[in-house]
């Protein structure tokens, strides 16, 4: 008797429980999924911003380090490319290996340009000398956050002082950073700007 009553009371229980639990489960999974996606999106933006800052600061550091040791500096306006300029540093070196004529080079070059070699976005490139076939990209094409250069300009605020400004924009977050600094070039004999 008792067994029969129990069965009678339990009739439809699983269906009702399922009807209550399933929407709750869906709601719970949806909420957790949304939060998870949001956190992932935030993390992606954080990393992209980190890449943006790092790339901009790296360009500033490289240019100022090369400028500090430069024997001569030549800045050229990169025509029709936007707010960009090319800087060519010539530095004294003890020896950088034999050249084609069998002599040791006593100068080396550091050339920074902005170009859109990929046909889409402008990036900063680096060459070791004018004849260097390798135009090494210094910005962009980073898996963690692609960037594009908006400005790379130079000025001469004082004698033997190179002022550099770079502006980079993240293609992930749309944020941009602009860094400016100056470097004194004690060994600089020629400064064309």
Write out the residues near other proteins by the rule CB under 8 A: 6, 9-10, 13, 17, 20-21, 24, 27-28, 31-32, 35, 38-39, 42-43, 45-46, 49, 53, 57, 60, 64, 157-161, 163, 177-184, 186
Residue 129 CB, shortest distance to other proteins, in Å, is 26
Complex with other proteins: residue 96 or 148, whichever CB lies closer: 148
Contact (CB, 8 A) for 86 and 114: yes
CB of 147 to other proteins, least distance (A): 14
Strand ordering across the sheet containing 176-184 = 147-158, 161-170, 176-184
For the chain, how are helix, strand and coil distributed in percent, rounded to 5? 35, 35, 30
Both tokens of residue 135? 């135009």
Closer CB to other proteins, 127 or 145, in the complex: 145
Rounded to a whole number of angstroms, the minimum distance from the CB of residue 69 to other proteins is: 14
Q: Look-up: residue for tokens 């300029």?
A: 85
Q: Torsions phi, psi of 52, nearest 5?
A: -60, -50
Please, where are the H alpha helices in 103-172? none
Going by their DSSP bridges, the two strands 161-170 and 147-158 should be labelled as: antiparallel
In DSSP terms, which residues pair with 192 in a beta bridge? Answer: 74
| Of 37 and 117, CB closest to other proteins | 37
* Closest distance to other proteins from the beta carbon of 50 (Å): 8
Cβ proximity to other proteins, 33 vs 128, nearer residue: 33
Least CB distance to other proteins at residue 141 (A): 22
CB closer to other proteins, 27 vs 117: 27
């Amino acid at each position: 008797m008792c067994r029969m009553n129990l069965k009678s009371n339990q009739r439809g229980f699983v269906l009702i429980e399922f009807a209550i639990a399933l929407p709750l489960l869906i709601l719970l999974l949806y909420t957790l999924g949304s939060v998870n996606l949001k956190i992932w999106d935030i993390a992606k933006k954080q990393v992209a911003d980190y890449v943006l800052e790092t790339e901009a600061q790296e360009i500033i550091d490289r240019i100022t380090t090369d400028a500090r040791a430069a024997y001569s500096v030549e800045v050229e306006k990169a025509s029709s490319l936007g707010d960009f300029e090319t800087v060519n540093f010539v530095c004294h070196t003890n020896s950088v290996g034999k050249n084609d004529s069998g002599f040791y080079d006593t100068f080396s070059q550091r050339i920074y340009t902005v170009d859109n070699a990929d046909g889409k976005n402008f990036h900063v490139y680096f060459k070791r000398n004018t004849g260097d076939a390798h135009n090494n990209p210094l910005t962009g094409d980073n898996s963690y956050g692609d960037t594009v250069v908006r400005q790379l300009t130079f000025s001469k605020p004082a004698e033997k002082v190179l002022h550099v400004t770079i502006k980079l924009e993240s293609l992930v977050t749309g944020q941009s950073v602009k860094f400016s600094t100056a470097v004194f070039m004690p060994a600089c004999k020629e400064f064309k700007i």
